Structure 1
């Protein structure tokens, strides 16, 4: 059964609620995802809740050869910049997550974007088992991160970012966009 009329929660009361919702969704096949996807986080008491949005996160771009721009940021109203996640020190990001939600962090990140730009796609799409189902996952090339996806409907995915060694998961929604990549 397709999940066509599903409402997306604006937040989850807990990680367990987020994972239960994720588990209720159908698999997202690795084919047919090519294109530009706009994202937004779903609060779940994760340290990174609100950080990406504060920094101008736009979403992700998947290519037909199963590669991906894992972190796209809006630079002005008509330009997207792909950031190389390998340039982000994960331990510091988790430790200073409150700073990531400040105006100072937003301003600093706007300057750091030039040195953090990706020269090519930085992740790969593949089928992978997670929580009892095989679905599409995006595996980062140079970070211990995997984003697992389940289908909300034809044009929306729920993502769960899993970082090796971190018990909590970051939840986000991707919506297929018609914006030119």
Structure 2
């Protein structure tokens, strides 16, 4: 899919309220030729978690078989990552990131959910606390979302999908 057809698909989807996002979501990129295509998956990206107070673990990564680690994206040099994106798809990057995860753990949620307009339609959006990034969400189905990541001052759009999953941390409560 190219970026134009992904954007057209996104535009046709229904808006979603932030409260409908509460829970754990598994993510996957939608390949459109964006520099970040495939990088998150190579690094072990799991998805996102949204809490009842409308805060978010914006970047959850798989650590081992079952453990999820929330990463604080603020120290990531975004412009360099976009410029040297080809390195992010390498085995070396995956190995290095697995060692750096411990030091990149988030002390708590790193983003907030709110309702924002995108091209005139108001829907849930996730605004990163210390990064110039907003993820806009539209509903594909009851437990599926399409996301569109906007980086301030960058015309390119990164597309991804989220699917709700059972949160192991909620079991037994």
Report TM bin, short chain: over 0.9
Given candidates 55, 76, 79, the residue that maps to 1:91 is 79
CA distance in 2 between partners of 1:127 and 1:106 (Å):
34
Structure 1 SS opposite 2:20: coil
- Offset of residue 30 of structure 1: 1.3
Structure 1 Cα separation of the partners of residues 35 and 114 of structure 2: 27
The question of whether the paired residues in 1 share the 8 Å contact of 2:39 and 2:88 is answered with: yes
Q: Shift of the alpha carbon at 1:29?
A: 0.9
- Counterpart residue number, 1:47: 35
Q: Secondary structure at the match of 2:167?
A: coil
CA distance in structure 1 between the partners assigned to 2:52 and 2:13 by the alignment? 24
How far did residue 125 of structure 1 move?
A: 0.0
Q: Which residue of 2 aligns with 1:115?
A: 103
**Equivalent position of 1:59 in the other structure:** 47
Displacement of 1:32 in angstroms is 2.1
Query: Hey, what's the Cα distance between the residues in 2 that align with 1:31 and 1:179?
Result: 16
- The separation in 1 between residues aligned to 2:33 and 2:66, in whole angstroms, is 32
Q: Is the 8 A contact 2:23 2:167 kept in 1?
A: no
Whole-angstrom CA distance in 2 between matches of 1:120 and 1:66: 13
- Structure 1 CA distance for aligned equivalents of residues 147 and 20 of structure 2: 16
Match of 1:17 in 2: 5
Bigger fraction of residues in helix: 2
How big is each residue's C-alpha offset from its partner over 1:41-86, in whole Å with a ceiling of 9 and x where there is no partner? 0001100000000000000000000000000000011100000010
Question: Where do 5+ consecutive residues of structure 1 fail to align?
Answer: 1-11
Note the aligned Cα RMSD (angstroms).
0.7
Q: How far apart are 1:16 and its partner, in Å? A: 1.2
TM-score (norm 1): 0.92
Equivalent residue in structure 2 for 1:69, among 44, 57, 60: 57
